[in-house]
Structure 1
Amino acid sequence: MVSVKQVVPKHPKVKNIKKTSKVEKVKKTNLVKEGVEEQCMQQKLHKVVPQTAVLKPVVKKKVKYAMPSKSITENLVTSCLNALQQLAVHYQKKNTIFEDETPIFAEIKCIKIQNSKGAIKFILPHSTVATTGEICLITPDLKKGRKVDHEPTVDHWEDKLKAAGVSAVKTVLPMRQLRVEYDQYELKRRLLTQHDFILVDTRVLNHVSHLLGKIFFKKHNMLIPVRINEKGNLKKDIDIGLRTAMLRLNEGATSAILIGHTGMKLTHLKENIMALVKQLQEKYPGGEANIRSISLKFPLSLSLPLYLTLRSSSVVTAPKLKHKKPKHFTVVEDELSTILGSTVRVAPDGTVHVKKSKDSLSDEENMDHDGDNEEAEQKNDSGNDE
């Protein structure tokens, strides 16, 4: 048999197409798996934390609060006074029988309270006394003594006031007459109700305040100091006294000051308020930065706001009220004979401070322990005797 070779058919030529072989595919898949495994191992070893967005700190802008001297303008004061005038008409309808001139007060609230009590004197451009007000002047005696008559001093000061042209002062009260005739509480109360304005000479101010007591400090137009110079201009001194207003600072945060009455002109009231705001910068404890609010009001009415701030207390420094000491104010200090090693300080106002040394304190403690031991021994002896 003869074998015949089969004819292999010829395939048509195909373009060169790159085909990935199975080996290459396997290699690629193995490489991908290996890369993923390496990444997981690195995360486990190094504990890679995904990167988060870094937040920038928020910077707070500093808020600038306006001071009363800059925020209180004349237009604002006029609008507040117009509203106060309408409020006065509302209150006059209730009391139609009495049409007296009602006083107007400026109420001031502080942020931080001062360290001690006291009073601040403000001089306003216009007088705050009503037209029908009774004014009293307390003067020093010409001759000191218990049996000396006070009528010559009254005549002396009345002649001085008439010569100077002062017609506002109705009654003159010498120091001796005040001690003799107003020694009871009811008489002092009558003196308070009979007069609307009491001026006191600065030479006898401390004595008068001790004699009359704290009742007179509750009213704003009582015990106003006046420097009277007989050889100088007496009318000018009295006029300055009538234009002074006292701001009594108590333990609380609110305080009020008299600035006028309803019988005054609006322009005069406006000038008094603006002058008060200017003087608060220097005289108010802690400065005007310590003022929380200023408002206008009647004695028994709602307050109309004139100034208000939200300033925090951390910005304000602790206010301190300085008391003016007289020229001859000296403190005497010496050793104390009753307690060894201690000293005593005595002030002109009568305050006494005792300073004890460490040795004296230790001796007192030892004495206390010895006394306790003696009492215990006496108790034991009494128990044994029984």
Structure 2
Amino acid sequence: MVSSKSILQNNTKKENLIKNKVVDKIKKPRKNKVMEKTEGEHKRKKVSIKAIIQDEKVVQKKKKVKFIMPSKYVTESIVESCLNAINQLAAITKKKNAIFEDEQPIFAEIHCIKIQTSKGNVKFVFPHSTASSSGEVCLITPDLKKGRKIDHEPTVDHWEEILRNAGITSVKTVLPMRQLRVEYDQFELKRRLLTQHDFIMVDTRVLNHVSHILGKMFFKKHNMLIPVRLNEKKKDIKMAVDIGLRTSMLRLSEGPTSVILIGHTGMSKENLKENVLSLVKQIQDKYPGGEANIRSIALKLPLSLSVPLYITLRPSNSVVNPPKMRMKKPKTFRDFEDELSTIPNSRVRVAPDGTVSLSKQESSASDEEEPTDEKEEVSDNDEESDNKE
């Protein structure tokens, strides 16, 4: 016979088990089919992402990405295709603006990865002239005689005769320094001088004075104030003027883009191609940061879209330090150091930019003994003079 106590115990155990199952169901609800599908998709995605990352690591180990520099990428065929596109854009603009039939300038637009630390100008010399055949070329020369009341016409005649004897026909106007100061003293007259001439060359002897007189307005236009070395004694004035006509200045400002003139639409395709290739070669040494700091190079007209010549996806981490301008220092560009008489045991140093630095020297025992010897010598000399008297 089964006792009543055992029956009650079995019933309580069953009730407790049922209660525990209900509580578990309440705490952990059933998963829907949608939830099960989403969890499965997440697991599959995680597995696929891990596999992709492992594959990328294996590929990076096997093959490292090598970025091509512009000097190796830009070839003659690429330059020819870009120039063909530029010629088509020039033909379209001629149809739209039939009045303007002049030669249009062609520019090279350069984008950098990291901006240089300071502003400046970089001089590029091309194998062919960038000045148009119908353009007005002006030459600013120094005066033969300095003074306010001296006439400037003799200097004009003097330089025109020199240019005529050298066989130079590209220079249309000669402008001495005195005429520039007297006749172009107002803003409107300076702007007229800027608009009348397409190319302005300045003798290196008066370049700083001319840039100070004309102001920053002339630095905004391309190919303005080209430095030229004119020596009357040496017979190489024609070569100096030809080099000036083949030079172009790259204005580097605070932004990442800079533009330089490389030619015009009236030039032959071969000459333009040589100018572009020479620009790419000179960028290696003259551009701040070298060719590794170049993001893209493109060709364009004044009012047209830019045709890409070179583009790279090189990361900015490839250029570690900010690029700096390479300035050529003259031979006399050095510090001058000497003793300072007003302060004892000190030396003064003057830099070419005008900065002055003072350095003191430690006084030694020998320096202290020297004045005593000088006093004794002076006393002996005084005794000799007294005896003579």
Q: Report the TM-score, using the length of structure 2 for normalisation.
A: 0.71
From 262, 267, 271, the counterpart of 2:265 = 262
Asked if 1:292 is matched to 2:295, the reply is yes
Distance 1:317 1:204, change over 3 A: farther
Asked if 1:324 is matched to 2:347, the reply is no
Asked if 1:127 is matched to 2:146, the reply is no
Per-residue CA distance 1:58-105 (angstroms, 9 max, x = gap) = 353421000101111101111111111111111111111120111000
Measured after TM superposition, the shift of residue 324 of structure 1 is: 2.6
Are the equivalent residues in 1 in contact too, given 2:286–2:326 (CA < 8 A)?
A: no
Per-residue CA distance 1:184-228 (angstroms, 9 max, x = gap) = 111111110110100011111111111111111111111001111
Amino acid corresponding to residue 257 of structure 1 in structure 2: I
Gaps of 5+ in 2: 1-52, 341-346, 359-389
Which residue matches 2:307?
A: 304
Partner-residue secondary structure (3-state), 1:252: coil
From 221, 225, 228, the counterpart of 2:227 = 225
Measured after TM superposition, the shift of residue 163 of structure 1 is: 0.2
Asked if 1:78 is matched to 2:80, the reply is yes
Alignment of 1:75-114 (within 5 A): 75-114=77-116
1:206, 1:71 → 2: CA distance?
39
Measured after TM superposition, the shift of residue 330 of structure 1 is: 5.3
2:337, 2:251 → 1: CA distance?
32
Partner-residue secondary structure (3-state), 1:296: strand
Higher helix share: 2
Measured after TM superposition, the shift of residue 328 of structure 1 is: 3.6
Deviates more, 1:256-265 or 1:222-231: 222-231
Asked if 1:141 is matched to 2:143, the reply is yes
Are the equivalent residues in 2 in contact too, given 1:344–1:352 (CA < 8 A)?
A: no
Which residue matches 1:368?
A: none
Alignment of 1:1-386 (within 5 A): 58-59=57-58, 60=60, 61-230=63-232, 231-318=234-321, 319-329=323-333
Amino acid corresponding to residue 284 of structure 1 in structure 2: Y
2:99, 2:176 → 1: CA distance?
37
1:56, 1:293 → 2: CA distance?
33
Are the equivalent residues in 1 in contact too, given 2:116–2:288 (CA < 8 A)?
A: yes
Partner-residue secondary structure (3-state), 2:249: strand
Q: CA RMSD in A?
A: 2.8
Per-residue CA distance 1:97-119 (angstroms, 9 max, x = gap) = 12011100000000011110111
Name the count of aligned residue pairs.
301
1:160, 1:242 → 2: CA distance?
18
Amino acid corresponding to residue 134 of structure 2 in structure 1: T
1:315, 1:197 → 2: CA distance?
38
Are the equivalent residues in 1 in contact too, given 2:71–2:280 (CA < 8 A)?
A: yes
Measured after TM superposition, the shift of residue 250 of structure 1 is: 0.6
2:332, 2:207 → 1: CA distance?
16
Measured after TM superposition, the shift of residue 347 of structure 1 is: 5.9
Gaps of 5+ in 1: 1-54, 337-342, 356-386
2:185, 2:224 → 1: CA distance?
18
Measured after TM superposition, the shift of residue 344 of structure 1 is: 9.8
Identity %: 71
Deviates more, 1:141-150 or 1:179-188: 141-150
